[in-house]
Chains A and B, each alone.
Chain A
Amino acid sequence: MSDPLDDMYREVILDHYRSPRGKKPIKKKDIESEGKNPSCGDEIEMELDMDNGKVKDVHVNCHGCAISVASGSMLAEYIKGKSLDEVKKISEVVKKMLKGEVDNLPEDLGDLDALKGVRNFPVRIKCALLAWMTLIEGVKNYEKGKNHPKASISTEDKEKE
Chain B
Amino acid sequence: MQAKLNNKEIIVKDNKDVLDINQIKADFPILNQPINNHRLVYLDNAATTQKPKSVIDAQNEFYLTINANIHRGLHTLAEKATNAYEKTREHVAQFIGGVKTEEIIFTNGTTEAINMVAYTWGEKNINEGDEIVITEMEHHANLVPWVMLAKKKKALLKRIPVTPSGYLDLSNIDKIITSKTKLLAVTHMSNVLGTINPIAELAQLAHDKGAIILGDGAQAVPHLPVDVKELGVDFYAFSAHKMLGPTGVGVLYGKKELLETMPPFNMGGEMIDTVTFDNITWAELPHKFEAGTPNIAGVVAFDETLHYLEKIGMENIRQHEITLLDYALKQLTQIDGLEIQGPLEVTNRGGAISFTDPKIHPHDISTFLDSRGIAIRAGHHCAQPLMKILQKVATARASLYIYNDRNDIDALVEALKKMRKYFGV
Q: Does B63 contact A (CB under 8 A)?
A: no
Q: Nearest CB to that of A64 among chain B residues?
A: B361
Interface majority SS (helix, strand, loop, mixed), chain B = mixed
Cβ of B422 under 8 Å from chain A: yes
- Residues A124 and B363 in contact, CB atoms below 8 Å apart: yes
The chain A residue sitting closest to B425, CB to CB, is: A18
Could you say which of B379, B392, B423 contacts A17, with CB atoms under 8 Å apart? B423
Query: Which residues of B in the span 379-403 have a Cβ within 8 Å of any Cβ on A?
Result: 379-380, 387, 392-394
Q: Which of A43, A66, A67, A121 contacts B393 (CB 8 A)?
A: A43
- B-side contacts of A63, CB under 8 Å: 393
Asked, given contacts A40-B378, A40-B393, A66-B423, whether A4 binds B36 with beta carbons under 8 Å apart, the answer is yes
Which stretch, B99-107, B345-353, B364-372, B405-413, touches the partner chain A?
A: B364-372
Q: Are A4 and B361 in contact (CB under 8 A)?
A: no
| A-side contacts of B394, CB under 8 Å | 40-41
Nearest B residue (CB) for A3 = B371
The answer on a CB contact under 8 Å between A5 and B393 is no
> Are the C-beta atoms of A40 and B422 separated by less than 8 Å?
no
With a cutoff of 8 Å between Cβ atoms, the chain A residues found around residue B392 in the complex are: 41
Q: Which of B102-122 contact A (CB under 8 A)?
A: none
The reply to whether A41 and B393 contact each other, CB–CB distance below 8 Å, is: yes
| Interface size grouping (class) on chain B | 20 to 34
Which A residues, 112 to 158, have Cβ-Cβ distances below 8 Å to chain B? 121, 124, 127
> In the complex, what distance in Å separates the CA atom of A65 from the CA atom of B396?
12
Complex alpha-carbon distance, A44 and B363, angstroms: 16
Contact: B424 with A18, CB < 8 Å? yes
A69 nearest in chain B by CB position: B361
**In the complex, what distance in Å separates the CA atom of A127 from the CA atom of B366?**
14
Instruction: Give the docked Cα–Cα distance between A65 and B419 (Å).
Output: 14
Question: Nearest CB to that of B394 among chain A residues?
Answer: A41
CB of B38, distance to nearest CB on chain A (Å): 11
> Does A39 interact with chain B (Cβ within 8 Å)?
yes
How far in angstroms is the closest Cβ of chain A from B144?
15
Query: Which chain A residues numbered 53 to 67 have a C-beta less than 8 Å away from chain B?
Result: 63-67
CA distance A64 to B367 in the complex (A): 14
The reply to whether A14 and B423 contact each other, CB–CB distance below 8 Å, is: yes
Q: How far is the CA of A23 from the CA of B363 in the complex (A)?
A: 22
Interface on A for B, CB 8 Å cutoff?
Answer: 3-5, 8-9, 14, 17-18, 39-43, 63-67, 121, 124, 127
Name 7 extra pairs, CB < 8 A, besides A9-B422, A66-B423, A67-B364.
A5-B367, A5-B422, A40-B362, A64-B361, A65-B361, A65-B363, A65-B364
Q: List 26 A-B contacts (CB under 8 A).
A: A3-B371, A5-B371, A5-B422, A8-B367, A14-B423, A14-B424, A18-B425, A39-B379, A40-B361, A40-B378, A40-B379, A40-B394, A41-B387, A41-B393, A42-B361, A42-B393, A63-B393, A64-B361, A64-B393, A66-B360, A66-B364, A67-B364, A121-B367, A124-B363, A124-B367, A127-B363
Residues of B in contact with A (beta carbons under 8 Å apart): 36, 360-364, 367-368, 371, 378-380, 387, 392-394, 422-425
